């Protein structure tokens, strides 16, 4: 039996146990060291009847997972007990349900979805590989980067939203050679954006923010808010003529767009989903490489750590951005 956190109702997490199967052919069991609480988790927590939430139960569908391989099935592809890994969740999806996701003591997953960590990369830090890969995917998949040989050298990149996804997008844009501008809501987010390389940080609560952003003429504007926000409209209003929008946020419903304005400004749009491979290099590979290169900078994003038994509190903290929260980790090995 293994402990796992379950969605028990709207905004309610309970702790239970589950019979975790032994790893079968091409599978491995991983002792979870840490799992991040992301915006998708919070959406399911708020409304557990959503399709995404119910499809990934039990284990409260935590997917920002890092841990240590504890056993392997036949045909493990070179993966061995003791290997330090993170999870590429899209490669973990199977025809049948996963017995437990990341908010659990252990998971069993296909070996193809388990990526070895670079030597010395901290397990907790490796939980950021999944959202960082998403950020990298959005930037590398943009027309701006594709026509720039996979780089953003000299490109002014504005990022609307300074949750963890937005902050990681700032870091990825700088790593790809761009100049990053961040739009943040809270002071602790603004401070983190500057530490990760943003040359300018604007306050989203200022009614003149989008006008000020437009004056900076960003060629690429990344929307990283989603939810109930109007960030798509803000992105289209802020981007320079002949520029491009990358939409990364997941929204509560349809959003209005001034198509005429977009047409007259000759704006492109890329709706980015998850991660993949481009030019023979995966987004996860680049994410792990960047985390290993800047551990201190990225480590500051991990603001709270709670044991599995306090998963409910972890979700509450993650939902309250005003409390100085950036990324909350559930750490089963701590108790």
Q: What is the pTM of this model?
A: 0.95
Class of domain 142-271: alpha beta
Q: Residue 16 contacts by C-beta under 8 Å, 6 or more apart in sequence?
A: 3, 4, 6, 58
Query: In this structure, are strands 220-223 and 156-160 parallel, antiparallel, or unpaired?
Result: parallel
pLDDT at 43: 83
What is the spatial distance between Cα 202 and Cα 192, in angstroms, rounded to a whole number?
13
What is the spatial distance between Cα 214 and Cα 206, in angstroms, rounded to a whole number?
14
What's the Cα-to-Cα distance from 263 to each of 143, 195, 270, rounded to whole Å?
17, 36, 15
Instruction: Indicate if 142-271 has the same CATH topology as 2-130+296-334.
Output: no
**pLDDT tens digits for the chain (335 residues)?**
899 998 888 888 889 898 999 999 999 999 999 999 998 888 888 877 664 444 445 455 789 999 999 999 998 888 999 999 999 988 887 666 677 789 999 999 999 999 999 999 999 999 999 999 999 999 999 999 999 999 999 999 999 999 999 999 999 999 999 999 999 999 999 999 999 999 999 999 999 999 999 999 999 999 999 988 999 999 999 999 999 999 999 888 888 888 898 899 999 999 998 899 999 999 999 999 999 999 999 999 999 999 999 999 999 999 998 889 999 999 998 75
Q: Determine the 3-state secondary structure of 28 from DSSP.
A: strand
Q: What is the architecture of the domain spanning 2-130+296-334?
A: Alpha-Beta Complex (3.90)
The DSSP element (H or E) to which 87 belongs, if any, is strand 84-87
Domain edges within the chain: 2-130+296-334, 142-271
Chain CA centroid to CA 56, Å: 17
β-bridge mates for residue 13, sequence order? 7
Is the separation of the CB atoms in 62 and 330 below 8 Å?
A: yes
What is the spatial distance between Cα 38 and Cα 163, in angstroms, rounded to a whole number?
10
């Amino acid at each position: 039996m293994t402990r796992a956190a379950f969605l028990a109702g709207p905004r309610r997490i309970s702790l239970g146990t589950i019979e975790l199967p032994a790893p079968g052919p091409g599978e491995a069991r991983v002792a979870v060291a840490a799992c991040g609480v992301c915006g998708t988790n919070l959406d399911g927590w708020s409304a557990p009847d959503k399709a995404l939430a119910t499809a990934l139960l039990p284990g409260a569908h935590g997917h920002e997972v890092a841990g240590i391989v504890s056993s392997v099935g036949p045909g493990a592809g070179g993966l061995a007990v003791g290997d330090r890994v993170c999870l590429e969740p899209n490669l973990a999806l199977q025809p049948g349900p996963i017995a437990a996701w990341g908010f659990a003591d252990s998971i069993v997953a296909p070996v193809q979805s388990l990526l070895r960590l670079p030597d010395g990369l901290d397990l907790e830090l490796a939980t950021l590989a999944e959202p960082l890969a998403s950020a990298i995917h959005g930037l590398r998949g943009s027309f701006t980067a594709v026509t720039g040989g996979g780089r953003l050298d000299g490109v002014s990149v504005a990022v609307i939203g300074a949750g963890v996804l937005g902050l990681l997008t700032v870091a990825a844009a700088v790593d790809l050679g761009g100049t990053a501008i961040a739009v943040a809501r809270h002071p602790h987010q603004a401070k983190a954006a500057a530490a990760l390389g943003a040359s300018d940080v604007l306050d989203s609560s200022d009614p003149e923010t989008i006008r000020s952003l437009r004056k900076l003429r960003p060629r690429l504007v990344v929307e990283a808010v989603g939810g109930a926000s109007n960030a798509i409209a803000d992105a289209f209003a802020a981007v320079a003529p002949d520029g491009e929008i990358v939409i990364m946020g997941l929204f509560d419903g349809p959003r209005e767009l001034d198509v005429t304005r977009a047409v007259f400004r000759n704006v492109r749009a890329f709706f980015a989903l998850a991660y993949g491979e481009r030019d023979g290099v995966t987004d996860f590979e680049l994410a792990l490489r960047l985390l290993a290169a800047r551990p201190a900078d990225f480590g500051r994003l991990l603001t709270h750590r709670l044991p599995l038994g306090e998963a409910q509190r972890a979700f509450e903290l993650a939902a309250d951005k005003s409390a100085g929260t950036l990324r909350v980790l559930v750490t089963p090995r701590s108790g």
